[in-house]
Chain A
Amino acid sequence: MASFKAFLNSPVGPKTTHFWGPIANWGFVLAGLVDMKKPPEMISGNMTSAMCVYSALFMRFAWMVQPRNYLLLACHASNETVQLYHLSRWAKFQGYLGQKKDETSTQ
């Protein structure tokens, strides 16, 4: 009970924007998870690659910002994972990852 109270009143707790900013960013992770069922034609290569670089940079940002923000760090680590997965689906669909059977016969 005491630790929950401490969390509520902490400088990065739910009474502050340091909490809600990262919570909003979890939206990207959720969107990524919901979109996993969609066909790869719908994936935007532009947006997904931008997200991959973005989350990598913001993992560092979350570490260095005052106050240090572990929630933001966790959010971007998760987003990085989800976005890299979507990027691989997109790349595979676009033919960038090559098909082992076809490639050897054409080369």
Chain B
Amino acid sequence: MAAATKLQAFWNHPAGPKTIHFWAPTFKWGISIANIADFSKPPEKISYPQQLAVACTGIVWSRYSMVITPKNWNLFSVNVAMAGTGLYQLSRKIKDDYLSESETEAAVAKR
């Protein structure tokens, strides 16, 4: 009984599934999911500009989602995730570009 009314409340919410306020942020999870799928890709293929944009957007939008009308927790959480995956991809690429040089130098020296 209570579940039915809760479901109704969700269904009719101003940021609920009948509105773009629901679907836009829900789909935004696609960006973080795409990024997670790309965790297994070699770091050479990661794009600095793109991942910087993902990380910065995630951070700024986490704030933005709390001051728009209606307040949007779905949007907030998806942006926290975006910032997280973006920063992780950036760290992978930075590690590969700057912290793996000693390995390649050693390999060259051995020849």
Known contacts A53-B30, A57-B20, A65-B69; is A42 also within 8 Å of B45 by CB? Answer: yes
A44 to B61, CA, bound (A): 23
Q: Are B21 and A61 in contact (CB under 8 A)?
A: yes
On chain B, the number of residues with a Cβ less than 8 Å from chain A's Cβ atoms is 33
Q: Decide if A13 is an interface residue (CB 8 Å cutoff).
A: no
Neighbouring A residues of B20 by C-beta, 8 Å: 57, 60-61, 64
Neighbouring A residues of B73 by C-beta, 8 Å: none
Neighbouring B residues of A65 by C-beta, 8 Å: 21, 68-69
Neighbouring B residues of A67 by C-beta, 8 Å: 69
Q: Are A18 and B53 in contact (CB under 8 A)?
A: no
- B53 touches which one: A30, A44, A46, A57 (CB < 8 A)? A30
Known contacts A31-B50, A61-B24, A64-B20; is A25 also within 8 Å of B45 by CB? Answer: no
Q: Decide if A17 is an interface residue (CB 8 Å cutoff).
A: yes
Q: Are B57 and A28 in contact (CB under 8 A)?
A: yes
Q: Decide if A66 is an interface residue (CB 8 Å cutoff).
A: yes
A79 closest partner in B (C-beta): B53
A50 to B57, CA, bound (A): 15
Known contacts A17-B67, A21-B60, A44-B38; is A31 also within 8 Å of B21 by CB? Answer: no
Q: Are A46 and B27 in contact (CB under 8 A)?
A: no
Q: Are B47 and A38 in contact (CB under 8 A)?
A: yes
Q: Decide if B10 is an interface residue (CB 8 Å cutoff).
A: no
Q: Are B33 and A50 in contact (CB under 8 A)?
A: yes
Residues of A44-71 whose CB lies within 8 A of B:
44, 46-47, 49-51, 53-54, 57-58, 60-61, 64-67
- What is the 8 Å Cβ interface bit string for chain B, positions 44-58, against chain A (1 contact, 0 not)? 010101101110110
Neighbouring A residues of B45 by C-beta, 8 Å: 41-42, 44
Neighbouring A residues of B53 by C-beta, 8 Å: 24, 27-28, 30-31
A24 to B24, CA, bound (A): 17
A61 to B70, CA, bound (A): 12
Residues of A1-52 whose CB lies within 8 A of B:
16-18, 20-21, 23-25, 27-28, 30-32, 34-35, 38, 41-42, 44, 46-47, 49-51
